[in-house]
Amino acid sequence: MISNNPFSILSETVSPIVMQGFILVMVILIVSGTIIQMIIHKNITYFFNNAKKAKQSATREISATEKISIISKTLVYDIGTTSELGFGKRRLAHVLGMYGTILFWVSSIVLVFSYTGVEKILSPIWSILWHVGAILTCIGGYWFWLFLRVDVSAEAHPWYRIIKADLFVLALLACSTFGLAWSYTQYNGLETLSFIFLTLFVLSNLVLFGGVYWSKFAHMFYKPGAAIQKNLAEADGSRDNLPAPADAPRQFGLGIQREQPKHY
């Protein structure tokens, strides 16, 4: 099953043009939802104003080479490994979910546009990557949802408590779960179940990409910009108008050692 391209079999009843059009519509929903959120919430205005204030309070000029180095390090290390979460289970769950999702989305695009349709060759490698991406997304997402959420661990809320901010992770998990279920039932010839899971797969994608404005989806675009701005501010001395770290010993007392930090 894992080397099977479910979109290729689907093309026997649904035109590849329709599948490609669906993906393009999802891209349009992402772009439009993000732009609308930026306009209404004024995120871009905040970033520009913050950058302007930082430039005025900078204590040194950063060269172009240093800027490139800082931006590259931020993207590769801070964003690529979610370093702000520190070492631990929460960071690992995020990394699994992040790279699983990227792999799932990229392989979906490649399979639909390059390996689905009449006279198109099969690609076991991309099919495997599609399934592996969905599996990694499920592992990281369910691990985070059931065991690692901050409000659940710190505030004793039940795991099934759902708020608007949870729309992104739940829709993402639904896409991966229903996608795998659709592939499995399709491969085993379970036509009725296959149709049901395909329908749920399509609907979950519509919720995920159509709900960009209301979910944390757009944060994936804000976080790199915010992290880059923060690191540049530290390098030029502006530090977002915050004081420099005090060069003094920590004096927390013994109480800080009574429980290992796990909530945040």
Using the predicted structure, report yes or no on whether residue 171 has a pLDDT greater than 80: yes
Give the mean model confidence (pLDDT) for residues 173-189: 94
Q: Please, are residues 185 and 194 in contact by the beta-carbon 8 Å criterion?
A: yes
The band of 107, judged by pLDDT with boundaries at 50, 70 and 90, is very high
Calpha distance 100→248 (Å, rounded): 42
The Cα–Cα gap between 179 and 165 comes to 23
Residue 183 lies in a domain: yes
- Confirm whether 1 is domain-assigned: no
178-198 average pLDDT score: 94
Contacts from 55-58 at CB under 8 Å and sequence distance 24+?
55/236, 55/238, 56/238, 57/237, 57/238, 57/241, 58/236, 58/237, 58/238
Q: Decide if 257 is inside a domain.
A: no
Burial class (CB in 10 A: 0-12, 13-18, 19+), 37: buried
pLDDT by residue (tens digit) across 12-32? 889 999 999 999 999 999 988
- Could you report the per-residue pLDDT of 32-80, keeping only the tens digit for each? 888 888 788 776 677 777 777 767 777 777 888 888 888 888 888 877 7
Tell me if 88 is assigned to some domain.
Answer: yes
Query: Is there a domain that residue 247 lies in?
Result: no
Q: Please, what sign has the CA dihedral across residues 175, 178, 182, 184?
A: positive
Residue 251 lies in a domain: no
- Two tokens, residue 245: 């770290």
Residue 229 forms part of a structural domain:
yes
List of residues 6+ apart from 169 with CB closer than 8 A? 97, 141, 144, 145, 216
Model confidence band, residue 150 (pLDDT cutoffs 50, 70, 90): low
Q: What is the pTM of this model?
A: 0.80
Per residue, the 3-state secondary structure of 128-169, as one string, reads HHHHHHHHHHHHHHHHHHHHHCHHHHHHCCCCCCCCHHHHHH
Distance from C-alpha of 29 to C-alpha of 85, rounded to nearest angstrom = 29
Considering the domain boundaries, does residue 76 fall inside one?
yes
* 54 C-beta neighbours (distance < 10 Å), count: 20
Closest among 242, 218, 246 to 50, alpha carbons compared:
242
Domain tally for the chain? 1
Question: Does residue 232 or residue 246 have the better pLDDT?
Answer: 232
* Confidence (pLDDT) at 130: 94
Owning domain of residue 152: 6-236
* Structural contact between residues 175 and 206, judged by C-beta atoms closer than 8 angstroms: no
What is the rounded average pLDDT for all residues in the chain?
82
